[in-house]
């Protein structure tokens, strides 16, 4: 005979029922979606009404217990096992499963599905045990045998989670088994889980190793990821970080960037646009050096593992959890190479200015990610002749005016990357970031009448404010000067790049400033 595990579950009234008790117990495992369970419920109810004074009769419900009770106006206690831990512990594979035990919790009878003969035999045993009469059941209206349904506790994804919980594993995500001779890299391609390049297979040992990079609970939900609005757990972030090629020490950066991605302000749903924007990550603070990020030569290019894989991990999260796949939900007409990922640290040590995260309200010693929704590919601006801050700032402004469309002004956020040689020129005249922003707005300001489409150029047309002004009846309104950007605060500036080269780069943004807002999140480091 089998001694069954103890448990404690609450019924629908909130009463706690503990097993074993001082009574013999009839446990009936059911789920609302199973028709054979529905066939069994009237019999279970009849048995409860007949023998409840002498034994425990409990329905252990796996789902929609309220609906199940209301459908049959059941008075039998329905215990809440929607977490499925008791079903798993009792190795329930088919529902209904009927188990009868003695007061000590030793199993005496067990069967699966609906068997009229088994029910009649059990009822006879209960009457003999209790001295109570058998309940009235119209057996002629019931089949002799009806196969059961699969228990919810053995469904793919749920079984793996329950197994991991039982083994105290931090992993709950569904594991996919592949044939022994299958190539895991090709299998992942076939499943559509890559960005077009090979990924690292996220085996359990690799995911557990990745999770060592954070103290946070692997099952913590950090948010929902648009456009599918799928829940994002720390574990699933770690899985995609493994696939991207991250090291465990990169995981806190990926988590913080994902939190920003899932925020309402960032509005990741806008990434489905035909315009083809992508998330651009800027990293500030001590973690840049700690994990070996490149902020100097070729900072916006390839070659550094941390830069490349952190940005790639975020894009894989968008693809595999958010469902943002090209040709499906993602509708970018052209896209860009940065769709594989875009993550860049600021070269704070080479800058005379406050770094980006300090400007955004953080302490200089905080490690912070700031997420932008921008064009993926930067536009480089060359000026090798300016010797004053005024002249250089004017060149930078003119170079930035082409963003989105040269005649589209009043646009939203933009990211300007200033190289060390250019920042030296600006700082020789003690120009601050605000001085640079002011000059950009000044040099790009144009009368509204010059920004309206003509027969010689059209493009994207005017911003709503330009259109409104165009319908004005006064010359004063049409002569109003409009700068390129909605406000100086929409111009975000960082310093990065190699020691030689008089270039800047700009990541342009949406024409409409209201589409997405840059979001910063502090990185929770494991030191």
What CATH number is given to the structural domain containing 95? 3.40.30.10
**450 is a domain residue:** no
- The reply to whether 132 and 229 lie within a common domain is no
- The reply to whether 214 and 352 lie within a common domain is yes
Specify the 3-state DSSP secondary structure of 86.
Answer: helix
- The reply to whether 253 and 333 lie within a common domain is yes
Mean pLDDT of 431-450: 95
169: confidence class by pLDDT, cuts 50, 70, 90: confident
Number of domains the chain contains = 2
- The reply to whether 434 and 360 lie within a common domain is yes
**247 is a domain residue:** yes
Reply yes or no on whether the pLDDT at 445 is more than 80.
Answer: yes
- In angstroms, how far is the first alpha carbon of the chain from the final one? 53
- The reply to whether 151 and 192 lie within a common domain is no
**166 is a domain residue:** no
pLDDT value at position 460? 47
**162 is a domain residue:** no
Reply yes or no on whether the pLDDT at 132 is more than 50.
Answer: yes
**361 is a domain residue:** yes
User: Alpha-carbon torsion 394, 398, 399, 401, what sign?
Assistant: positive
- The reply to whether 201 and 286 lie within a common domain is yes
Mean pLDDT of 480-494: 94
- The reply to whether 148 and 226 lie within a common domain is no
- Contact at 8 Å (CB) between 19 and 107? no
φ/ψ of residue 270, rounded to 5: -65, -15
Mean pLDDT of 207-226: 93
* Percent residues over pLDDT 90 in the chain: 75
462: confidence class by pLDDT, cuts 50, 70, 90: very low
- Residue from 89, 41, 31 nearest 63 by CA: 31
**102 is a domain residue:** yes
350: confidence class by pLDDT, cuts 50, 70, 90: very high
Span 171-216, pLDDT tens digits: 777 777 787 788 988 988 888 899 999 999 998 889 988 999 999 9
- The reply to whether 37 and 150 lie within a common domain is yes
- The reply to whether 330 and 233 lie within a common domain is yes
Span 258-313, pLDDT tens digits: 999 999 999 999 888 888 899 999 999 999 999 999 999 999 999 999 999 999 99
- The reply to whether 21 and 118 lie within a common domain is yes
- The reply to whether 111 and 241 lie within a common domain is no
CA distance 364 to 354: 8
Of 267-276, 302-311, 498-507, 516-525, the poorest mean pLDDT is in 267-276
Final residue before a domain boundary, out of 99, 133, 155: 155
Parent domain of 56: 2-155
**478 is a domain residue:** no
- The reply to whether 437 and 503 lie within a common domain is yes
CA distance 527 to 132: 68
**527 is a domain residue:** no
Span 104-124, pLDDT tens digits: 999 999 999 999 999 999 999
């Amino acid at each position: 005979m089998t001694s069954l595990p103890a448990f404690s579950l609450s019924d629908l009234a909130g009463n706690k029922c503990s097993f074993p008790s001082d009574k013999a117990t009839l446990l009936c495992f059911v789920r609302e979606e199973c028709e054979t369970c529905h066939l069994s419920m009237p019999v279970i109810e009849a048995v409860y009404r007949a023998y409840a004074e002498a034994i425990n009769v409990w329905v252990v419900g796996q789902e929609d217990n309220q609906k199940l009770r209301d459908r049959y106006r059941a008075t039998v206690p329905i215990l809440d096992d929607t977490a499925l831990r008791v079903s798993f512990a009792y190795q329930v594979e088919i529902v209904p499963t009927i188990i009868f035990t003695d007061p000590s919790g030793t199993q005496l009878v067990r069967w699966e599905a609906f068997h009229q003969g088994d029910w009649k035999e059990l009822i006879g045993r209960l009457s003999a045990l209790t001295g109570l009469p058998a309940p009235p059941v119209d057996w002629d209206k019931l089949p002799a045998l009806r196969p059961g349904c699969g228990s919810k506790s053995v469904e793919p994804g749920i079984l793996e989670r329950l197994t991991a919980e039982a083994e105290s594993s931090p992993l709950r995500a569904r594991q996919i088994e592949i044939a022994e001779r299958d190539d895991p890299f090709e299998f992942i391609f076939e499943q559509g889980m890559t960005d077009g390049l090979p990924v690292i297979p996220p085996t359990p040992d690799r995911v557990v190793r990745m999770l060592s990079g954070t103290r946070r609970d692997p099952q913590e939900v950090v948010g929902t990821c648009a456009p599918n609005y799928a829940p994002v757990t720390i574990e699933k972030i770690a899985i995609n970080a493994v696939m991207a090629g991250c090291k465990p020490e990169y995981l806190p950066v990926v988590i913080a960037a994902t939190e920003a991605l899932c925020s309402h302000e960032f509005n990741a749903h806008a990434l489905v646009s035909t315009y083809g924007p992508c998330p651009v990550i800027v990293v500030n603070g001590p973690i840049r050096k700690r994990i070996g990020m490149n902020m100097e030569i070729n900072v916006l290019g390839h070659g550094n593992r941390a830069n490349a894989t952190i940005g790639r991990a975020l894009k894989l999260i968008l693809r595999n959890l958010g469902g943002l796949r090209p040709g499906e939900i993602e509708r970018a007409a052209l896209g860009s190479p940065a769709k594989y990922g875009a993550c860049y640290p600021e070269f704070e040590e080479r800058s005379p200015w406050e770094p980006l995260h300090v400007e955004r309200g953080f302490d200089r010693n905080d490690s912070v990610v700031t997420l932008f929704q921008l064009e993926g590919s930067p536009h480089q601006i060359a000026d090798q002749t300016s010797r004053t801050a005024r002249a250089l700032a004017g060149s930078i402004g003119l170079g930035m005016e082409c963003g989105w469309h040269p005649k589209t002004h009043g646009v939203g956020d933009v990211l300007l990357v200033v190289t060390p040689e250019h920042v030296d020129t600006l700082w020789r005249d003690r120009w601050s970031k605000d001085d640079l922003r002011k000059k950009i707005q000044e040099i790009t300001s144009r009368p509204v009448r010059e920004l309206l489409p003509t027969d010689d150029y059209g493009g994207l047309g005017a911003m709503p404010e330009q259109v409104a002004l165009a319908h004005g009846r006064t010359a004063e309104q049409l002569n109003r000067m409009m700068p390129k950007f909605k406000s100086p605060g929409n111009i975000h500036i960082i310093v990065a790049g190699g020691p030689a080269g008089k270039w800047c780069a700009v990541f342009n943004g949406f024409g409409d400033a209201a589409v997405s807002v840059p979001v910063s999140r502090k990185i929770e480091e494991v030191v």
